[in-house]
Amino acid sequence: MSEKKSNRRHSGRPTVSDVARFAQCSPMTVSRVINGHPSVRTEAREAVEAAIKALNYAPNRAARSLAGAGQIRIALLYTNPSAAYLSELLLGCLDEASRADVHLVVERCAFGEDEEKVVKRQMAGGIDGFLLPPPLCDEKALLDLLHGLKVRAVQIGPGQADPHHDAVMIDDYQAAYDMTRHIMALGHRRIGFIIGNPHQSASGLRLSGFRDAMAAGQLAVEEDLVRQGSFTYRSGFDGAAALLELAAPPTAIFASNDDMAAGCVAAAQRQHLEVPQDLTVCGFDDTAIATKIWPELTTVRQPIHAMACTALNLLVERIRAERGADRSAVQHKVLDYELVKRDSDAELLP
């Protein structure tokens, strides 16, 4: 037995026991640090992390399984019409899944139709938890189903976090308020607004931020300047076309996401209007489309990639903690947004 241990130590591949000896702790503590268990004391965690770095130790999947962790399986359910948003979200989830040794399953789930069937099928296949981006993050029936089944889930980008589930979001209301105030500071008074998907609570918060900013600037919100969209390019195009056909059209349009803002730019160009000389257009999200059209969009940067990484990490931590019988409080994390000024907005000339 002693000969085998000696051979392993001299093979150039350090073991959990080697890390434990270096960090002067037990192999169980090393295993808990590797698997992200939250109960490890800060001093012990730092000692283990230093030992891992010094020894260049790389835990393999088999060792983690023997330690009781096993690979975690997570399902990302989606039904979002914005390809740009989904692409950014998926990249974040894939990056974090690779880092955390998580098996990620991606499946389309029709809003309000087949959620229960999808959830139960995924659970039967060994799924440990779910990531719910918009608009599924706002569907109460789905959230209640998961809570009732005692299944772990994290909402990504909800307007309002559910008390039974972890969530990662931004302050949609304040972000829309700040963007509206920016447009007003450029001298615009007739500002059109295109609402997002009515099934997403973030849409209502962005509309409220717009309305309250206008009220704070003592500007009336004329109802014919507010149009319903659905977060799609086409709905932005149609909404802007209707706004620009008014007898007194707006001088600026604030669309609730970048896809719709891109549609607004196209609608303006169809009417031979120059953006931003004749019409200011601003968006929300800062997805790839914001810098792939001309002019590039002034927009609110929602950290979609970081939100995805944070959400997956939250879910992994909760699954690992609960495998160790540790049930911590639900976490609702609010990340920072940023107003990004590019080329689609301009001062209103007299």
Parallel, antiparallel, or unpaired: how do β-strands 338-340 and 299-301 relate?
Answer: antiparallel
DSSP assignment of 173-186 equals: HHHHHHHHHHHHHT
Please give the backbone phi and psi of residue 27, each rounded to the nearest 5 degrees, phi first.
-60, -30
Residues 193 and 209 in one domain: yes
Q: Is residue 125 part of a domain?
A: yes
Nearest to 101 by CA among 60, 132, 53: 60
Residue 242 located in a structural domain: yes
Residue 41 within a domain:
yes
Please give the model's pTM, rounded to 2 decimal places. Answer: 0.79
32 compared with 143, residue with greater pLDDT: 143
Same-domain status, 41 and 79: no
Tens of pLDDT, residue by residue over 224-256, are 999 999 999 999 999 999 999 999 999 999 999
Residues 114, 163, single domain; the answer is yes
Together in a domain, 274 and 308 = no
Q: Which residue would you say has higher pLDDT here, 66 or 173?
A: 173
Q: Same domain, yes or no, for 224 and 120? A: no
Residue 40 to residue 53: CA distance in whole angstroms: 18
Range of the domain at 18: 2-66
Shared domain for 331 and 258, answered yes or no, is no
Q: Beta-carbon neighbour count of residue 36 at 10 Å? A: 18
Residue 78 and residue 163 in one domain: yes
User: Do 53 and 149 fall within a single domain?
Assistant: no
| Per-residue pLDDT reduced to its tens digit, 11-59 | 457 777 788 889 998 766 776 677 566 567 888 888 988 888 888 877 6
User: Are 265 and 281 within 8 A, CB to CB?
Assistant: yes
Give the integer Cα–Cα distance in Å for 153 and 276.
42
184 with 292, same domain? yes
Quote the percentage of the chain above a pLDDT of 70. 89
Q: Which of 201, 222, 208 is nearest to 180 (CA)?
A: 208
At residue 67, the pLDDT reads 41
Residue 348 counted as domain residue:
no
Q: What is the pLDDT of residue 6?
A: 35
Read off the tokens for 50.
Answer: 């230093």
Same domain, 279 and 193: yes
Q: Is residue 350 part of a domain?
A: no
List the structure tokens of 118: 């999808």
The answer to whether 251 and 190 have CB atoms below 8 angstroms apart is yes
Higher pLDDT, 325 or 204: 204
